[in-house]
Structure 1
Amino acid sequence: MTLRLPVISLLASLAAGAVVVPRAEFHPPLPTWKCTTSGGCVQQNTSVVLDRDSKYAAHSAGSRTESDYAAMGVSTSGNAVTLYHYVKTNGTLVPASPRIYLLGADGKYVLMDLLNQELSVDVDFSALPCGENGAFYLSEMAADGRGDAGAGDGYCDAQCQGYCCNEMDILEANSMATAMTPHPCKGNNCDRSGCGYNPYASGQRGFYGPGKTVDTSKPFTVVTQFAASGGKLTQITRKYIQNGREIGGGGTISSCGSESSTGGLTGMGEALGRGMVLAMSIWNDAAQEMAWLDAGNNGPCASGQGSPSVIQSQHPDTHVVFSNIRWGDIGSTTKN
């Protein structure tokens, strides 16, 4: 990681014969596991880092502390990370809406090679109401964050924030609706809408939600598998595990737009094979109130329920918990 000190201060200290000890950048620890069918799961020495542009933590590397992460609504405990949308600052509740990335022990982003692999995570969406989005996704960012991964640099996605790159939305979800969506890119031409699968929109109205087949009032495990044949991605499949029971029918994606224009499912697979960075965030949507995810044909939420002002007043404690993150061979991440 890069540590910076103001040049004048550094020179003055050296001239005075002082010993300069830069304060190390703090990264909340978040152990994860890499798994194989033959060797089981091996714990990884991983942590999380806030996006450099996060509102209350846009300091240079070497200055963020544990309290800075708490001020941005981020905390870790064991193998779990909790993201709060709103935090109190000087007694006033304000939106933090943090975004974080998985960081390796080498100070670079972990590049997950998921072609013909699976990714699993335990989630708790029970405190995410209509209009909120607890996002768990992959972005084809540079491992070094374009110069400073340790400071949360280098973000990109298929909406071309930062710059254009392949994006795989494993989860965009709250307690009422969920979607998984590949967004392949060919150069700067990205499938911004993507090829999503939303159980509610597909007609499975009783599948996902409080008290439903996948009961979002309680924690559950989400498993996403990226099956390949001949080195080419053939389908993306979702299943859930809750109370020790495997729940199929979470959706399958076997095509995604035009290979010639945006790369299609093949291009998405190539990005997965090169390795993608895991990002997690919590946010809401003043423009559309997240209706594309959870209202109308996409979910049971009514107009107005997803308004940020309504969420802030009625659900000030809204948060999401991601834990027990594992990736590796298909069938290997959920073995006891």
Structure 2
Amino acid sequence: MPLSLQLSLVGLLATLAAGAATTPLAEEHPLLPTWKCTTSGGCVQQNTSIVLDRDSKLAKGAAGSRTAADYAAMGVSTSGNALTLYHYVKSSPASPRVYLLDSDTNKYVLMSLQDNQELSVDVDMSALPCGENGAFYLSEMAADGGGGAGASGGYGYCDAQCQGSCCNEMDILEANSMATAMTPHPCKGSSCDKNGCGYNPYASGQRNYWGPGKTVDTSKVFTVVTQFAASGGKLTSISRKYIQNGKQIGGGGTISNCGAEGGSGGLPGMGQALGRGMVLAMSIWNDATQQMAWLDAGTNGPCASGQGSPSNIQSQHPDTHVVFSNIRWGDIGSTTKS
């Protein structure tokens, strides 16, 4: 491509991005009801919805459609309390990421989970092969998305890898049908624990715990419950259990330490972020560089080299998707009480 044409395209994209920064795409945010629970009052439905990340919107805008964010074209759909995310749409990568919006769609929902709270979600990962990642996690984003187009425009993303900017990140669930990890990534300012302090059952020696037909049978729907235990206002542990076919499954792992408090903040720092409130993000993605080996290959999972390459996934599993539903948060023991 001639240099002059390249520069023209760069200028056009910059202009579109600048325009989008001040003029958010008009859209209807798909409804996704959730529940906030207490041990005394039960669960109360929240009038929540979802919004696509701004980068998805800009990509769509650059293609010439800036009047509305096309959720279906980006692999996103909701039905009742269920959210479905497809990686590929009409053979093209979509890889969507969405955030949970409050009933006031100018603000994200801030989940405050430090003080003996839990977060539960029903998941269907049966269509996620090796190399794919259905991610359900928390980011310490600003409630208003940083102003301007803000939350209603999907602005303000940050994480412990310092994409966008650096902030605390709690990976509740990064998983496919073959492997899973739960990982806090505390940050103190711009000093973040990028590797985190994860718990992966396979890497911990539980080779028959997670997978199709295994203890947690990923060929079927199950409930993921993550509990944040605190003492004296300080986070002391993060633990995991599962519920499937009406039965509770233990052995999901407990994290009681996460690096030096004086460095990235450690587990107490993660707890402080959870106490301030964090934004729920949900996404589906794969990884051309590492092929998600850090999650599901070698000592981390049963997947073989090459299985997780994006080209293999697209050719062998073009319908790969994840479903998150029945999202509830509140006092420990309150979100799964029938």
After TM superposition, is the score higher than 0.5? Answer: yes
Which structure 2 residues correspond to residues 1-336 of structure 1 after superposition, within 5 A?
24-54=26-56, 56-58=59-61, 63-65=67-69, 68-88=70-90, 93-107=91-105, 108-115=107-114, 116-147=116-147, 148-336=150-338
Cα shift readout 1:205-240 (whole Å, capped 9, x = no counterpart): 000000000000000000000000000000000000
The aligned residue for residue 17 of structure 1 is none
Instruction: Give every structure 1 segment of 4 or more consecutive aligned residues whose post-TM-superposition deviation is greater than 4 Å.
Output: 58-62
Cα shift readout 1:85-116 (whole Å, capped 9, x = no counterpart): 0001xxxx110000000000112000000012
Gap change, CA 1:112 and 1:57, over 3 Å in 2: farther
Q: Distance in 1 between matches of 2:253 and 2:323?
A: 23
Gap change, CA 1:61 and 1:146, over 3 Å in 2: farther
Matched to 1:298, the amino acid is N
Matched to 1:63, the amino acid is T
SS of alignment partner, residue 241 of structure 1? strand
Q: Distance in 2 between matches of 1:78 and 1:209?
A: 27
Q: Distance in 2 between matches of 1:278 and 1:23?
A: 21
Gap change, CA 1:61 and 1:255, over 3 Å in 2: farther
Cα drift, residue 328 of structure 1:
0.1
Q: Is the 8 A contact 1:49 1:100 kept in 2?
A: yes
Q: Distance in 1 between matches of 2:67 and 2:238?
A: 40
Cα shift readout 1:5-25 (whole Å, capped 9, x = no counterpart): x9xxxxxxxxxxxxxxx9953
Q: Distance in 1 between matches of 2:25 and 2:317?
A: 37
TM-score by length of 2: 0.89
Q: Distance in 1 between matches of 2:65 and 2:164?
A: 19
Matched to 1:145, the amino acid is G
Q: Is the 8 A contact 2:87 2:95 kept in 1?
A: yes
Cα shift readout 1:271-325 (whole Å, capped 9, x = no counterpart): 0000000000000000000000000000000000000000000000000000000
Q: Is the 8 A contact 1:238 1:251 kept in 2?
A: yes
SS of alignment partner, residue 313 of structure 2? helix
Kindly, what percent of the aligned residue pairs are identical? 82
SS of alignment partner, residue 308 of structure 2? coil
Cα drift, residue 62 of structure 1:
8.7
Matched to 2:202, the amino acid is Y
Matched to 1:72, the amino acid is M
Q: Is the 8 A contact 2:85 2:323 kept in 1?
A: yes
Q: Distance in 2 between matches of 1:290 and 1:23?
A: 33
Cα drift, residue 250 of structure 1:
0.2
Q: Is the 8 A contact 2:60 2:66 kept in 1?
A: no
Matched to 1:100, the amino acid is V
SS of alignment partner, residue 72 of structure 2? helix
Number of aligned residues:
310
Cα drift, residue 57 of structure 1:
3.6
TM-score by length of 1: 0.90
Matched to 1:117, the amino acid is Q
Q: Is the 8 A contact 1:50 1:57 kept in 2?
A: no
Matched to 1:71, the amino acid is A
Matched to 1:249, the amino acid is G
Cα drift, residue 26 of structure 1:
1.1
SS of alignment partner, residue 224 of structure 2? strand
SS of alignment partner, residue 155 of structure 2? coil
Gap change, CA 1:62 and 1:87, over 3 Å in 2: closer
Give the unaligned 5+ runs of structure 2.
1-18
Q: Is the 8 A contact 2:135 2:173 kept in 1?
A: yes
What root-mean-square deviation, in Å, do the aligned CA atoms of Structure 1 and Structure 2 show? 1.7
Q: Distance in 1 between matches of 2:65 and 2:145?
A: 13
Q: Is the 8 A contact 1:26 1:62 kept in 2?
A: no
